[in-house]
Structure formats: C-alpha cells, structure tokens
Amino acid sequence: MLSEVTFAGFGGQGVMLAGKILAHAGLDEGHEVVWLPSYGPEMRGGTAYCNVVISDKPIGSPIFAAPAAVVVMNRPSLDKFGSRVKPGGLLIINSSLIDATSDRTDIHVVRVPCNEIAQGFGSAKAANMAALGAYCGATKVVTVDSVKALVKETFGAKPKVLDLNYKTLERGWQAGEEGLAAAKKKIK
C-alpha cells in the first residue's frame, strides 16, 4: 500500500492540520508516514500545502511530482496542483469555493461542498475536516476510528468544536465515498 496526497488551500484553511491528522492516523495504524508541510509566504494568504505519504513499506522520499491524490480547497490550488494528479488518481475539489472542475478524463474528480457541509454543522472553519473526511472516505487509506481519535485528541478540550468536527468529518467521509463511486462510473 502506498498513498500520496497533497492537501492545498489558502493559509488559514486548515490544510496543514488535515494533513497532520491524516499522518498521525497512519502512524497509529502502524504504517510508515511522512508529512511534509510547505510554509513561508503561503501563510499570508497564498497557496499553502502539505504532502502526506502513507505506506506499508519504508518511504524513500516525501517529495513527488505526481501524487495519487490532490485535495484542493481554493481555485489557486486547483490551478497549481490539479494537473499534477497521476493518471487514474483522485482530485477532490472544494465545490463551495471553486466553481471550476478539471477537464481531465484520466482521473477521478470528486466535488465536495466542504464549506457548506461545515457551515451546516455550525462553522465553515471546519471545512478542512470535510475535505479530510472526503479523502479518507474515497481512499480508505485509514479508518474512520483512527481519524476520529485524532480529532478528539486535537479538539477534545472544546466539546462544541469536537462535535462540529466529528459531524463534519463523517459527512465529508460519506461525500467522498459517494463521489468516488459516481466518478468511477463516468470514467468507465
């Protein structure tokens, strides 16, 4: 098993946290993991991103030109990373903020309204949990229980925030499963 994903969005959208939770979930399940964040001027509103690699074998490098999956939270991230998905891979688009899609026919494109899902449970700030859930639901790279345990560890001191993040994660997970199933039908 080898999973490579790039999470990308504006600084402040929580893409680093989503990647970090995914990486820790992989560790908790006994996998080899690399989390490589990209900091710098991106933190001031530009495109911030992180790469996560999860494998059942030692990982040679956290750097990849063509990831198997990309999760984009805003239009500049789609423009920058959407074309990098390897053929047969997965592109998850936050359709709440991105009105475009990919014209590629060699990948699975899943549109998930991450901000709307999170807002429906109380705060659009949890959109990153919808995106994380969508990726995990589509790929099954880690279990929902592993991710929930890390969400609890991260937000456990704030019960209202914890509940919001759980519900948003679960709805994102469902959207990822359903979206990938629909995307696979289109490619056949």
- Residue 157 is predicted with a pLDDT of 86
Between helix 144-155 and helix 127-139 the angle, nearest 10°, is 160
pLDDT single digits (tens) 71-117: 999 999 999 999 999 999 999 999 999 999 898 999 999 999 999 99
Q: Select from 73, 84, 26 the least CA-distant residue to 49.
A: 73
pTM comes to 0.93
Domains and CATH numbers, the chain: 2-187 (3.40.920.10)
Residues in the chain: 188
Q: Select from 5, 41, 1, 40 the least CA-distant residue to 20.
A: 5
d(CA 82, CA 153): 32
- Residue 159 is predicted with a pLDDT of 82
d(CA 54, CA 86): 17
The whole-number mean pLDDT for each consecutive block of 10 residues of the chain, a chain of 188 residues, reads: 94 93 97 88 70 94 89 95 96 96 93 97 95 97 95 88 95 95 76
